[in-house]
């Protein structure tokens, strides 16, 4: 499989200090194949490979990485950027910042998932899922309406969906003109103080001018703050043409990629993003109405490359170990001060920030997870919590001077933490080990310690 192929290439690239045309060639071929297998459109693949080449050639291979790993890093970074990571963290947030009602217009081909996504979005918004600048903005009063007058069943379908998610549905009628429905909905939403109005629209099986004209007219009338292009991830290569047609016809604000629960590898995400230039905002993960997730560029990048979550594991560890704290500690060591249990407790906090242990383990490919077998079943986490409990039961003075810890103090601490005295002793042994590591750090520098801490 692809992960194996990539890692085989990575291995053959050992021991070179610089990325060159020659040593990146095999790897780039694998990446190219991976992207094509993931249904990324050919022109997009070409552009991407050219970009990675440009970024990587002549680069020094940093630190302990081998050239293959360094290249995986670059590929991942570029892929994440192309998926929208370069747009900034807020790009994938839904904008509702306007005079209410904030109108969301759904566009896309028939069967793409517009009606389903309308229901999912309505549920997500009415239940308080919306986030702006990293903060939840609370539950929204949402109204949905269907302007799909070509299939009477379409209006019924939206009503059923709205009932299911307990969101208000404004009845419309197949004999009405879509624009009249939109006008009435806007008026109703204003008068009844809805915060959000989601307008579901008709789609055709292929792109046609009449449909584009109609949705453009709806857009002019509704002046939506969000115009979401809904596209089926299973469409693969075709998604490019559809996306281009919609992007040309409408000022899109974002993309929803549906049916990512199937075996689609997500290549469409890259193509659609490339063609429209608009951020992907949501991913549809199920026919059910809770199957909607905000879009994560890195996650999708990994899925497309088929690298499992190895990259995210590495990155998560790097991100969460607070460099500032680590440096402070290093400075303290250099100045000759001792690494005491207060520092040890800080250190544990850092480890905890790396995420809960079982989810870290889940992200490892199977062979690594097996190797880490003794940590499975929440053991690592339990251990961490116990150690923390013990440290918390000590006084700051005891933590600063562990040699104070004679038998009676240990008994008090054990009782406070609800553990046996042996546990306290075990923790102190752990601390001794940590001190050993600190001494090494003084010799080997930060990088070594970070590696040790990252596992
Ligand atoms: P519309 O024609 O664009 O309104 O598309 P619909 O919302 O009616 O969806 C078409 C079909 O795709 C329906 O059977 C939906 O249940 C299904 N569907 C929509 N979104 C998803 C999704 O994210 N995952 C899966 N598995 N099915 C979906
Ligand atoms: Mg529909």
Ligand 1 pocket test target in 113, 203, 255 with most atoms within 8 Å of CB: 113
Which of 268, 297, 326 is the endpoint of a domain? 297
Q: What's the pLDDT score for residue 283?
A: 93
Domain shared by 104 and 253, yes or no? yes
CATH label of the domain that carries residue 433:
1.10.260.30
User: How far is the centre of ligand 2, averaged over its atoms, from the C-alpha of 265 (Å)?
Assistant: 24
Domain shared by 134 and 263, yes or no? yes
Look-up of token digits 């116990």: 386
Ligand nearest to the CA of 150: 2
Q: Let me know if residue 375 belongs to a domain.
A: yes
Q: Report the atom number in ligand 1 closest to the C-alpha of 258.
A: 23
The stretch 209-222 carries a mean pLDDT of: 95
Q: Let me know if residue 292 belongs to a domain.
A: yes
Domain shared by 398 and 447, yes or no? yes
Q: Using alpha carbons, select from 323, 338, 332 the residue that is nearest to residue 453.
A: 323
Residue span of the structural domain in which 64 resides: 2-82
Structure token pair of residue 331? 């400075």
Domain shared by 122 and 170, yes or no? yes
CATH label of the domain that carries residue 47:
1.20.120.140
Which residues on neighbouring strands pair with residue 18, listed in sequence order? 60
- Domains identified in the chain, total number: 3
Which of 297, 319, 353 is the endpoint of a domain? 297
ipTM, two decimals: 0.99
Q: What's the pLDDT score for residue 353?
A: 60
Which of 272, 297, 322 is the endpoint of a domain? 297
Residue 328 gets the label, from left (phi > 0), alpha (psi -120 to 50) or beta, of alpha
Domain shared by 105 and 76, yes or no? no
User: How far is the centre of ligand 1, averaged over its atoms, from the C-alpha of 42 (Å)?
Assistant: 27
On whether 258 is known to bind a ligand per the annotation, the reply is yes
Domain shared by 341 and 414, yes or no? yes
Domain shared by 200 and 66, yes or no? no
**pTM score:** 0.68
**Full strand arrangement of the beta sheet holding 226-232:** 168-170, 142-146, 196-200, 102-107, 226-232, 254-258, 280-284, 292-294
How far is 327 from 311, CA to CA, in rounded Å?
Answer: 24
Domain shared by 7 and 103, yes or no? no
Ligand nearest to the CA of 149: 2
Q: Whose CA is nearest to atom 6 of ligand 1?
A: 113
CATH label of the domain that carries residue 120:
3.40.50.300
Domain shared by 11 and 31, yes or no? yes
Q: Let me know if residue 302 belongs to a domain.
A: no
Domain shared by 411 and 267, yes or no? no
Give per-residue pLDDT as tens, 134-164. 889 999 999 999 999 998 799 999 999 999 9
How far is 195 from 193, CA to CA, in rounded Å?
Answer: 6
Q: Let me know if residue 241 belongs to a domain.
A: yes
Q: Let me know if residue 304 belongs to a domain.
A: no
User: How far is the centre of ligand 2, averaged over its atoms, from the C-alpha of 6 (Å)?
Assistant: 41
Domain shared by 73 and 107, yes or no? no
Lining ligand 1 with CB less than 6 A are: 108, 110-116, 203, 258-259, 261, 284-287, 291
Contact 321, 354 (CB under 8 A): yes
Give per-residue pLDDT as tens, 90-125. 777 899 999 999 999 999 999 999 999 999 999 999
Domain shared by 146 and 285, yes or no? yes
């Amino acid at each position: 499989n692809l992960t194996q192929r990539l890692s085989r290439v990575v291995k053959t690239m050992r021991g070179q200090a610089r990325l060159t045309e020659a040593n990146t060639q095999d790897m780039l071929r694998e990446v190219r194949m991976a992207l094509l297998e993931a249904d990324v459109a050919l022109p997009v693949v070409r552009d991407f490979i050219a970009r990675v080449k440009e970024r990587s050639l002549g680069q020094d291979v940093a630190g302990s990485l081998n050239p293959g790993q360094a290249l995986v890093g670059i590929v991942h970074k570029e892929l994440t950027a192309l998926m929208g990571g370069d747009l900034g963290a807020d790009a994938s947030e839904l904008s509702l910042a306007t005079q209410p009602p904030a109108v969301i217009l759904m566009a896309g081909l028939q069967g793409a998932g517009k009606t389903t996504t309308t229901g999912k979005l309505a549920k997500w918004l009415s239940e308080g899922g919306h986030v702006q600048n990293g903060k939840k903005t609370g539950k929204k009063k949402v109204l949905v309406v269907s302007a799909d007058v070509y299939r009477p069943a379409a209006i019924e379908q939206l009503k059923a969906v709205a009932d299911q998610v307990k969101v208000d549905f404004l009845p419309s009628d197949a004999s009405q003109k879509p624009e009249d429905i939109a006008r009435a909905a806007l008026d109703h939403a204003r008068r009844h103080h809805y915060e959000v109005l989601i307008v579901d629209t008709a789609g055709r099986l292929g792109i046609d001018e009449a449909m584009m004209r109609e949705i453009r007219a709806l857009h002019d009338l509704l002046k939506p703050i969000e115009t979401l292009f809904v596209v089926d991830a299973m469409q693969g290569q075709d998604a490019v043409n559809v996306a281009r047609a919609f992007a040309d016809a409408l000022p899109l604000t974002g993309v929803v990629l549906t049916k990512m629960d199937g075996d689609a590898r997500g290549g469409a995400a890259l193509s659609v993003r490339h063609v429209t230039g608009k951020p992907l905002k949501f991913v549809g993960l199920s026919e059910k109405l809770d199957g909607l997730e905000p879009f994560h560029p890195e996650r999708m990048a990994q899925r497309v490359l088929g690298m499992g979550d190895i990259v995210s594991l590495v990155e998560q560890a790097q991100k969460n170990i607070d460099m500032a704290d680590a440096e402070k500690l290093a400075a303290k060591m250099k100045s000759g001060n001792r690494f005491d249990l207060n520092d040890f407790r800080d250190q544990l906090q850092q480890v905890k920030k790396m995420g809960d242990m079982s989810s870290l383990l889940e992200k490892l490919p199977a062979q690594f997870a097996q190797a880490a077998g003794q940590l499975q079943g929440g053991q690592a986490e339990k251990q961490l919590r116990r150690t923390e409990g013990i440290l918390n039961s000590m006084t700051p003075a005891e933590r600063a001077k562990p040699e104070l810890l004679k038998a009676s103090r240990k008994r008090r601490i054990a009782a406070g933490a609800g553990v046996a005295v042996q546990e306290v002793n075990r923790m102190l042994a752990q601390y001794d080990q940590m001190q050993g590591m600190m001494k090494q750090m003084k010799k080997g520098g930060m990088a070594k310690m970070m590696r040790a801490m990252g596992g």
